[in-house]
Structure 1
């Protein structure tokens, strides 16, 4: 559990925040067999900073590229996510808006509803709004450059953020929904599926190597290891996981 200024002290079940702590993130540390991907829960009571991540190609020494996606699992009626800009903007316009706080108005804010999936390529300027519970799947990187933080006393990283930010609208092709089928992301860094009950043969075929399984409802096991809601199961392959008590499960593996 990671405390955040924008976190919550009333986490949804099955999580319980320690007394006096505002928990914003719950991380499942990548196992040695699958170090490339990181899964988190995010819980927000306030807006997160406006930020951006580098790609592997434009990361400097000591940094690491980061592409990510968000699956909305709960949302207040007016919850929103800022992703990309309303129209193409130049770097100097982004810099000026970050300094005076008007960058919020430059960003495109999308309504967020349970079951929505947003994939964010590296370089996408973004901010998560309040009243959300998300599952985030990402490259295992903590390199984040803040452009704006609502006056909070945290470091900003304008030079590096401007160097990697894309001043463009968010592509509609990166949005999906659980209604579109089990494959949420099949990208350059990870595969991410949502399944109900037992996987179909195509899912078993796609997850023949190391994977992480996150039960949202129901239970899973692999040998003597069991996992329920709020936990994450590592398995060497999908066919060793017992889905007989599974209801809704998220599966993640590194790209092949």
Structure 2
């Protein structure tokens, strides 16, 4: 099943997306969601993201934090960098451990921008972002994000943009420490990018790569480059496809596909 695209305007988005994503009608698009619009909500949300400016410095709640607030779920996510302009950065974790009071004060003063650990990135980099991680995506980046389906973001700092901040909620769920998650690196060939409590995420480059994925159930497929087919129908960059079996797809050598699925409880 080819999932419907939902275009989401953002102040930090772009009005010059690659043509395979369709006509924008003058909109400044920051995200494209593949979330089963018009159907029962899907248990994973896949996004393409396009940045011309920095996103807010933000944090997402864990399952436990979300339940305490009456929310349907927490939000963990994984990023795969498709393209990055020279010098493009991601902010992940803080340079040192911060107390709640230090995080609140730094968010109010703007010092949080200096305390965030900004990492230079390139195409093929990937990062798993556990709930509670203080983070921000910089300008000049195109990435694919896989996440729990809850759209819950607590903004700590937004560079003076006139948008709502969520300082108390954000500080209460944040774990402001240096980022050391092993589920990060740069892709080379067929590789499991991440396996977390809620979803798994793989990168494959040929049909043999399908054999590295042992999990059954629904699979979300995101073509990045090269040629691949779903039951003889081409899958192209800009598509997101959900299938029940990887036997339905054929991946030509030196292609690049991202595949995600639900973690087994």
* TM-score, with length taken from structure 1: 0.92
* Superposed structure 1 runs of 4+ greater than 6 Å apart: 31-34
Contact 1:34–1:210 (CA<8 Å) still a contact in 2? no
The reply on whether 1:158 has 2:167 as its aligned counterpart is: yes
* Helix, strand or coil at the partner of 2:108: helix
Contact 1:177–1:184 (CA<8 Å) still a contact in 2? no
Aligned match of 2:52: 45
Contact 1:186–1:192 (CA<8 Å) still a contact in 2? yes
Q: Deviations over 1:37-88 (max 9, x none)?
A: 1110110000000100001111110352000011111111110000110001
Question: C-alpha distance in 2, partners of 1:191/1:96?
Answer: 36
Question: C-alpha distance in 1, partners of 2:202/2:59?
Answer: 25
Q: Deviation at 1:244?
A: 4.9
Q: 1:214 aligns with which of 203, 213, 222?
A: 222
Question: C-alpha distance in 2, partners of 1:97/1:201?
Answer: 46
* TM-score, with length taken from structure 2: 0.89
Question: C-alpha distance in 1, partners of 2:126/2:246?
Answer: 23
Compared with structure 1, are the counterparts of its residues 196 and 38 closer, same or farther at alpha carbon in structure 2 (3 Å cutoff)? same
Q: Tell which deviates more after alignment, 92-101 or 59-68.
A: 59-68
Unmatched runs of 5 consecutive residues or more in structure 1 = none
Aligned match of 1:130: 139
Q: 1:239 aligns with which of 231, 235, 247?
A: 247
Q: Deviation at 1:151?
A: 1.0
Contact 2:226–2:252 (CA<8 Å) still a contact in 1? no
Aligned match of 1:3: 9
Contact 1:76–1:132 (CA<8 Å) still a contact in 2? yes
* Helix, strand or coil at the partner of 1:234: strand
Compared with structure 1, are the counterparts of its residues 73 and 200 closer, same or farther at alpha carbon in structure 2 (3 Å cutoff)? closer
Question: C-alpha distance in 1, partners of 2:151/2:100?
Answer: 24
Question: C-alpha distance in 2, partners of 1:139/1:148?
Answer: 23
| RMSD, aligned CA | 2.1
Aligned match of 1:57: 64
* Helix, strand or coil at the partner of 1:213: strand
Question: C-alpha distance in 1, partners of 2:224/2:190?
Answer: 17
Q: 2:188 aligns with which of 155, 179, 182?
A: 179
Contact 1:124–1:165 (CA<8 Å) still a contact in 2? yes
